[in-house]
Structure 1
Amino acid sequence: MPRLVASDVARTLRERIMSGDWADRRVPPERALAAELGVARNTVRRAMRLLSADGAITRHVGRGTFVVTAPPAGPDVDGTDDLAGTIARMEGASPADIMEIRLLLEPAAAAFAATDASIGDLAAVEAAHREAVAADDMPGFETWDAEFHHRIFACARNELLREFHALVRVLRNRAPWFDMKKRSFSETRRLAYCQEHGAILAALLDRDPEGARGAMHAHLKTVETNILRR
């Protein structure tokens, strides 16, 4: 029997994924697959890397390897990846990646909100700010901090932008981001965040898009420094 190489193993595993062999989405351990296929474990490991690069599987340290989609989608006719697979792969985004996306999206959302928000929208942002100021512990502040930002996106009246933020918000609630924020939390920083939120809110109430954009960018750079220690 010809010796299997990593690409052959990857092809075999991809066929098994497409046939629905692992309906529970969990892929067997490398050791078990190596014994089953009669190859070295490092060959299976290289095959897994190929599948991971293709978006067919996702690997979580301490939890195992999982099928992203069954069957995994290759490029669509226009060359784009399957949306579900793309979203699943985003689960592994690092806090630094998330922060960079926030710096791209949130200043723009604040600028849109300054011109497009209704009086009721701005009242909702102001209410979230008051709750964040009144919070006396990290979980309470984190809840209203996230809500403050969420309501600004709602003000922007751009559905796609709002959905992008909803996805980022899900990623921010995952353990790596929350744990880093918890470690960096202090009352001094909470008060600084509230002061910066106040500057954002003031620009929104003044209907000043560039002021809102700048205040949001400044706030996120503070968050970046505190959480990522940059």
Structure 2
Amino acid sequence: MTTVEHALRALVTEGTRDGSLGPGAKLPTERALVERLSAPRSAVRRALEALERDGLVERHVGRGTFLTDAIASHAESAPSDTSPAEIMQVRLLLEPQVTILAARVATQLDLDRIGQALAAGGSASDFDGFERWDATLHRSIAIAAHNGLLMSMFEVMNTARSLPVWGNLKRRTSTPELRACYHREHTDIVEALRDRDPDGAGAAMRHHLQHVTDTLLGRG
């Protein structure tokens, strides 16, 4: 399974869990998925073909791609009782190491997509917009590590972020000032990636995630 397919499956699972997607729902266009997943259109098409083979989507020429009834049982495999503290513990263990690897093996195309997500997040004027690009940035870094097993682990962890308890907590703690601070931390991560500095990238990610942890859990 490719990293893009992992990312697409996670996106669908998140939508199913938060109620924005369900059986019969139409997926975003290929062009929108290319932007959302920070992936080439050819890779997005292959990922959609894989979901179609598994019976999770139906594709209709001229109409689009639609989720089937099978998506409901697929979403049930996602974690449902994970606390924000557990999510952040896993993120702190996993994401700095993913970022270290990405600093070593990311292509220029990977770095360009990461940079685009960073810029879009910095321009976001509201909570929802920032959160969308925050997730895209972190996923883009994971994709840039080019390791399918790590991506599988990342997507399981990332699916837990779609739980209502997580979203509600982030919304309650979010302020424009905090989002600006997070953007500066994201910038530090991206600059280290561009410099091909694994240690610096890992440390910047660890610092950022520790700040997120302290904010969400009231330790700041």
User: Equivalent of 1:134, from 116, 123, 126?
Assistant: 123
Matched, 1:220 2:214: no
Instruction: Give the equivalent residue in structure 1 for 2:163.
Output: 174
Residue identity opposite 1:169 in structure 2: N
For 1:92, the equivalent position in structure 2 comes to: 81
Partner of 1:196: 185
- Supply the distance in 2 between the matched residues of 1:202 and 1:89 (Cα, whole angstroms): 33
Partner residue of 1:62? none
Q: In structure 2, what residue type is equivalent to 1:156?
A: A
Matched residue, 2:51 = none
**How far apart, CA to CA, are the structure 2 residues paired with 1:213 and 1:100?**
16
Q: Report SS of the residue matched to 1:181.
A: helix
For structure 2, the 5+ residue unaligned runs are 1-72
Instruction: Summarize deviations over 1:172-197 as a string: whole Å, max 9, x none.
Output: 01100000000000000000000000
- Segments ≥4 residues shifted beyond 6 Å: none
Q: Is the 8 A contact 2:78 2:159 kept in 1?
A: no
1:123 maps to 2:125: no
2:132 alignment partner AA: T
The offset of 1:139, in angstroms, is 0.3
* Structure having the higher Rg: 1
Equivalent residue for 2:96? 107
Q: Distance in 2 between matches of 1:97 and 1:213?
A: 20
Q: Output one character per residue of 1:3-27: Cα deviation in whole Å (capped at 9) or x when no partner.
A: xxxxxxxxxxxxxxxxxxxxxxxxx
Under a length normalisation based on structure 2, what TM-score does the superposition of the two structures give?
0.64
Query: Could you say which residue in structure 2 is the equivalent of 1:12?
Result: none
Q: Which residue of 1 aligns with 2:22?
A: none
Distance 1:115 1:102 in 2: 20
RCO higher in structure (CA 8 A, sep ≥6) = 2
- AA aligned to 1:190 is R
In structure 2, the CA distance between the partners of 1:89 and 1:151, relative to structure 1 (3 Å rule), is closer
Superposed counterparts of 1:52-67, under 5 Å: none
The C-alpha deviation readout for 1:41-95, integer Å capped at 9, x for no partner, is xxxxxxxxxxxxxxxxxxxxxxxxxxxxxxxxxxxxxxxxxxx9xx848321111
8 Å CA contact retained: 2:99, 2:142 = yes
**Other structure's SS at 1:92 match:** coil
Q: How far apart are the structure 2 equivalents of 1:89 and 1:134?
A: 31
Report the CA distance shift for 1:214/1:222 in structure 2 as closer, same or farther (over 3 A): same
RMSD across aligned positions (CA): 1.6
Percent of pairs identical after alignment?
Answer: 38
